[in-house]
């Protein structure tokens, strides 16, 4: 197989410690900070399906939901650094959480070892059909005309909330955030016209966009999304400096041997090059974007700076 061959070819440079890890038959635990059935869980199970055969060992998905992903982070930090536990890290979401809560016990950059950057999970800006805008140009004009009377749905302190804050900052407008405890009620109110728009995950919003119940205007990411290829990015549509990629990566407990991290990174590099996995990721709202541990660290540091500055400027706290 292509991905197994690419992985095997890299073993020669690992040294004895790396080969020992690569030959281990102990189960590899893949921690997920969200419950079964969600988009992060779907991503984890896709990765496990491809990763197990390449490593020659079983990959066990271990869901640890709670506290907006912070419980999963805490479990990952406290796990033994023996190379048998890795963490599907929702980088952007957890960084926002720690920046909002300065009393957070653990930190993605400080307390975990980066392994691989894997993918992004872009959000789409969608309006209900009562909004008198057919595209982003007319939507921006409508926002500037109506200002604070325009409201949007989000969970307070979530990525969707801060995407709305970033939109206000970039356009120089004031809008009203309506916080919800769950996405189901937010979607119900959006469809009913009680709120005007939302930043939502593509798997959640796509059925409503395709049925004509919602109008997708743009994606928040730095590049277009194949599932909504007709939609521009917000930056393309006239919102300067707007890009929210919602990164996911693989991290390991601090102190995990470098040889184990190198072996894992090579395995992820191999499976992320598989066209079948790439297609499955696209179907579930992800954009494959593999890069090595150094890039994941750089992305995490940049996300910390970006969201920390926005949170401070907007005076948002939990």
Tens digits of residue pLDDT in 67-90: 989 999 999 999 999 999 999 999
Calpha distance 87→31 (Å, rounded): 5
Given 237, 260, 287, the domain boundary residue is: 237
Instruction: Answer whether residue 168 is part of any domain.
Output: yes
Q: What CATH number should be reported for the domain holding residue 231?
A: 3.40.190.10
Q: Smallest Cα–Cα separation from 116: which of 304, 299, 298, 296?
A: 296
Domain range enclosing 281: 28-120+246-314
Q: Are residues 208 and 70 in the same domain?
A: no
Calpha distance 313→316 (Å, rounded): 8
Q: Are residues 49 and 109 in the same domain?
A: yes
Q: Are residues 269 and 175 in the same domain?
A: no
Q: What CATH number should be reported for the domain holding residue 108?
A: 3.40.190.150
**What is the predicted pLDDT for the residue at 1?**
37
**What is the predicted pLDDT for the residue at 20?**
54
Q: Are residues 127 and 116 in the same domain?
A: no
pLDDT tens, per residue, the chain with 318 residues: 334 455 454 445 544 444 455 566 789 999 999 999 888 999 999 999 999 999 999 999 999 999 989 999 999 999 999 999 999 999 999 999 999 988 888 999 999 999 999 999 999 999 999 999 999 999 999 999 999 999 999 999 999 999 999 999 999 999 999 999 888 899 999 999 999 999 999 988 999 999 999 999 999 999 999 999 999 999 999 999 999 999 999 999 999 999 999 999 999 999 999 999 999 999 888 999 999 999 999 999 999 999 999 999 999 988
Exposure string of 40-50, with b = 16+ CB inside 10 Å and e = fewer, is bbbbbebbbeb
Close Cβ partners of 246 (under 8 Å, ≥ 6 residues apart) = 90, 92, 93, 120, 121, 122, 123, 159, 220, 221
Strand 176-179 with 151-154, pairing: parallel
Instruction: Answer whether residue 1 is part of any domain.
Output: no
Residue that is written with structure tokens 């197994």 in the block: 4
Instruction: Answer whether residue 301 is part of any domain.
Output: yes
Q: Are residues 95 and 131 in the same domain?
A: no
Q: Are residues 94 and 112 in the same domain?
A: yes
Which residues is 114 bridged to in the sheet?
251
Domain count, the chain: 2
Calpha distance 84→26 (Å, rounded): 7
Q: Are residues 81 and 142 in the same domain?
A: no
Q: Smallest Cα–Cα separation from 198: which of 237, 154, 250?
A: 154
Q: Smallest Cα–Cα separation from 235: which of 140, 121, 117, 132?
A: 140
CB-CB neighbours of 146 under 10 Å:
13
Instruction: Answer whether residue 12 is part of any domain.
Output: no
**What is the predicted pLDDT for the residue at 19?**
47
CB 198 within 8 A of CB 152: yes
CB 127 within 8 A of CB 215: yes
Instruction: Answer whether residue 16 is part of any domain.
Output: no
Instruction: Answer whether residue 10 is part of any domain.
Output: no
**What is the predicted pLDDT for the residue at 17?**
45
Q: Are residues 101 and 139 in the same domain?
A: no
Calpha distance 34→185 (Å, rounded): 19
Instruction: Answer whether residue 19 is part of any domain.
Output: no
Question: Is residue 272 helix, strand or coil?
Answer: helix
Q: Smallest Cα–Cα separation from 55: which of 10, 23, 19?
A: 23
CB 181 within 8 A of CB 112: no
Instruction: Answer whether residue 220 is part of any domain.
Output: yes
Question: Is residue 253 helix, strand or coil?
Answer: strand
Q: Are residues 183 and 37 in the same domain?
A: no
Element (H, E) at 4: helix 2-9
Q: Are residues 97 and 137 in the same domain?
A: no
Residue that is written with structure tokens 């999963």 in the block: 72
CB 32 within 8 A of CB 44: yes
The string of pLDDT tens digits covering residues 271-302 is 999 999 999 999 888 999 999 999 999 999 99
Secondary structure (DSSP) of 53-122: HHHTS-EEEEE---GGGHHHHHHHHHS-SSSSEEEEE-HHHHHHHHHH-TT-S--HHHHEEEEEEEEE--
Q: Are residues 182 and 233 in the same domain?
A: yes
Q: Are residues 176 and 137 in the same domain?
A: yes
Given 210, 237, 264, the domain boundary residue is: 237
Given 237, 266, 290, the domain boundary residue is: 237
- The runs of H, that is alpha helices, within 88-223 are 91-100, 108-111, 136-146, 159-171, 183-192, 202-210
């Amino acid at each position: 197989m292509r991905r197994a061959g690419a992985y095997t070819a890299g073993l020669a440079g690992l040294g004895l410690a790396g080969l020992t890890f690569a030959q281990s038959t102990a189960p590899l635990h893949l921690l997920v900070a969200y419950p079964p059935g969600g988009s992060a869980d779907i991503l984890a199970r896709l990765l496990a399906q491809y990763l197990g055969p390449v490593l020659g060992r079983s990959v066990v998905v271990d869901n640890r939901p709670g506290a907006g992903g912070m419980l999963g982070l805490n479990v990952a930090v406290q796990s033994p650094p023996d190379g048998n536990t890795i963490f599907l890290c929702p980088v952007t979401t957890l960084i926002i959480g720690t920046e909002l809560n300065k009393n957070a016990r653990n930190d993605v950059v400080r307390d975990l070892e980066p392994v691989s950057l894997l993918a992004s999970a872009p959000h789409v800006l969608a309006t209900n059909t009562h909004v008198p805008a057919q595209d982003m140009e007319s939507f921006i004009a409508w926002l500037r005309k109506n200002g604070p009377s325009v409201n949007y749905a989000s969970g307070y302190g979530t990525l969707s909330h801060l995407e709305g804050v970033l939109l206000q900052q970039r356009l120089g407008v004031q809008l009203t955030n309506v916080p919800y405890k769950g996405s189901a009620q937010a979607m119900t109110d959006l469809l009913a016209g009680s709120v005007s728009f939302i930043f939502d995950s593509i798997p959640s919003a796509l059925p409503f966009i395709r049925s004509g119940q919602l109008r997708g205007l743009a994606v928040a990411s730095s590049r277009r999304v194949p599932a909504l290829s007709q939609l521009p990015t917000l930056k393309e549509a006239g919102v300067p400096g707007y890009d929210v990629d919602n990164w996911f990566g693989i991290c390991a407990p601090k102190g995990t041997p470098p040889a184990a991290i190198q072996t894992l990174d090579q395995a992820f590099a191999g499976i992320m090059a598989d066209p079948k996995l790439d297609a499955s990721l696209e179907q579930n709202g992800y954009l494959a974007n593999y890069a090595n541990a150094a890039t994941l660290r750089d992305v995490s540091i940049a996300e910390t700076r970006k969201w920390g500055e926005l949170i401070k400027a907007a005076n948002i706290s939990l």
